[in-house]
Amino acid sequence: MADTTRNTGQTRGAPPAQPRTEPRTGQRWKVVPAPQQPRHARRMDPRTTLAIRAGRLAAATSQRLGLGSGGMIGGRLALTLQPDLLQRLATGRRVVMVTGTNGKTTTTQMVAEALRAQAPAVSNATGANMLDGHVAALMTRMDAPNAALEVDELHLAQVTERFTPSAILLLNLSRDQLDRVGEVRTVAASLQRALVQAPSTPVIANRDDPNIVYAAEGHPRVVWIAGGVRWKDDALNCPRCGAFLGDVTTDWRCGCGLARPAAAWTVTETGVLGPDGTHHDLALALPGHVNRINATFALAAALELGGEEASALARVRLVDSAAGRYDTVRVNGRSVRLLLAKNPASWLEMLDLVRSSDDPLVLVVNSREADGYDVSWLWDIDFEVLRGREVAVAGDRALDLAVRLRYAQVHATVASTVEVALGGTDGGVPDVIANYTAFRDLLTRSKR
């Protein structure tokens, strides 16, 4: 009989629920308690109360003045007034942490929706994914027993130092903002340290990414997801010993012992094959194979925490955008679809979405602090798939992008702004693929 053990997660120091075995069938099971009101929602000391009130006021003021969502400033002020506020707010809650290079925001939103099938949940939906953003999200609704929080890859260890999450999702690792983050192996080592600090936490991880396997291999509670690997350039060498792995699309194994583990969940062309061998059609509102992978992580997390599959999946299917990603908005009077691509791996996925379309295409690249100043990664992207299409380019590094497209034999028109680029296109709903700050600025100027 399949192991149907579920775990709710717990705050540091709380004993995990013990599995029991049904004597007649041999099936293992756990009693999963219903979500309870967080303890801090019932009683807080004056300093914590002051920190939360001040943080909420700062966030509201930022929103009122049009300076942003307030997610960072509110959380930062609250943490300054009460340095251990994060662990106080997490106590008594089921907190799912989602990290990886790509897909964090979308997966976090899916996890939040899946958890809401059980009980209210909060989330850092704006993408403020460091400690101040986590505090800001957790204090938005003090009585919500569930939380889904996106976390920057290099900050997961800071989270697990402070409290034990109920589940950790490890999506993928690839090069991104090398001048800020560093090499992929540095990030993998940081994730490994974070997991050592949370040995009782269920980890849901991508078995097809050698860097993720390296980070999670020693953890005692891993649920492996198989979604396939498309971006291979950061996974060709063993992250443990450096040996060449070769074809990582198959059951790879390194001489040092690191190997692709068996999967509990396998993503297919239409849905997902679950641990019990049952195939489930996902029928998502969001396009592409990458979002089937994201949805599988969310579904696995919900079931790991005792959720009911049908209700969790029904809520995940309703997600049709995430912090503006995939949204259709109005820009300068024109309806456009916004797509975010911030590194070679995510550009690969977004170009795959638009390559067979005849709709106008605008590519936008900046190189500000939040993007990383180095844009040499443009040469790692297979822009050749756009040959035969007319493309417009804009952004701070439009000329660099135009040069790259010229070598890819893609005809590109350089525009001073996205609005000017759109003015030179006719027909259809244009797709606009933009990296981080270009996407953020465009979303701010647009109308839904």
We report the CATH number of the domain holding residue 224 as 3.40.1190.10
pLDDT-based confidence at residue 35 (cuts at 50, 70, 90)? low
Helix, strand counts (H, E) of the chain: 15, 17
SS3 at position 447: strand
Residue 375 exposure: Cα atoms within 13 Å on the Cβ side:
23
pLDDT-based confidence at residue 39 (cuts at 50, 70, 90)? low
Q: Note whether 39 and 143 are same-domain residues.
A: yes
Check pLDDT > 60 for residue 20.
Answer: no
Q: Which residue of the set 84, 374, 396, 431 is catalytic?
A: 374
Residue 244 CB coordination number (10 Å):
8
Residue 339 lies in a domain: yes
411 annotated as ligand-binding:
no
Q: Note whether 229 and 271 are same-domain residues.
A: yes
Q: Note whether 403 and 296 are same-domain residues.
A: no
Domain containing residue 437: CATH number = 3.90.190.20
Share of the chain above pLDDT 70, in %: 88
CB burial of 281-316 (b: ≥16 within 10 Å; e: otherwise) equals ebebebeebbbbbbbbbbbbbbbbbbbeeeebbebb
The pLDDT score that the predictor gives to residue 69 is 72
Its domain, for residue 269, covers: 20-317
* Final residue of a structural domain among 268, 298, 317: 317
* Final residue of a structural domain among 260, 287, 317: 317
SS3 at position 196: helix
pLDDT-based confidence at residue 448 (cuts at 50, 70, 90)? low
Domain count, the chain: 2
End-to-end CA distance of the chain: 50
Q: Between these two residues, 21 and 332, which has the higher pLDDT value? A: 332
Is 374 catalytic? The answer is yes
Q: Note whether 56 and 128 are same-domain residues.
A: yes
Q: Write out the E strands in 300-427.
A: 328-331, 334-340, 361-364, 391-394, 412-414
The pLDDT score that the predictor gives to residue 417 is 94
Asked if 405 and 393 touch (Cβ cutoff 8 Å), the reply is yes
Check pLDDT > 90 for residue 267.
Answer: yes
Residue 15 lies in a domain: no
The pLDDT score that the predictor gives to residue 36 is 56
pLDDT-based confidence at residue 37 (cuts at 50, 70, 90)? low
393 annotated as ligand-binding:
no
Share of the chain above pLDDT 90, in %: 71
Asked if 234 and 211 touch (Cβ cutoff 8 Å), the reply is yes
Q: What is the DSSP letter of 158?
A: H
Worst-scoring range by mean pLDDT, 159-163, 232-236, 286-290? 232-236
Closest CA to 421 of 371, 364, 383: 364
Check pLDDT > 70 for residue 18.
Answer: no
Residue 6 lies in a domain: no
β partners of residue 204: 169, 223
Residue 42 lies in a domain: yes
Worst-scoring range by mean pLDDT, 144-153, 180-189, 243-252? 180-189
Residue 233 CB coordination number (10 Å):
12
Residue 2 lies in a domain: no
Strands 222-226 and 265-267, bridge-based pairing: parallel
| 174 exposure class (CB count in 10 Å sphere: 0-12, 13-18, 19+) | buried
CA distance 231 to 298: 22
The pLDDT score that the predictor gives to residue 274 is 93
Give 62-115 pLDDT, tens digit per residue.
Answer: 888 877 777 788 899 999 999 999 999 999 999 999 999 999 999 999 999 999
Q: Note whether 333 and 408 are same-domain residues.
A: yes
Residue 8 lies in a domain: no
238 annotated as ligand-binding:
yes
208 annotated as ligand-binding:
no
The pLDDT score that the predictor gives to residue 370 is 87
Check pLDDT > 70 for residue 156.
Answer: yes
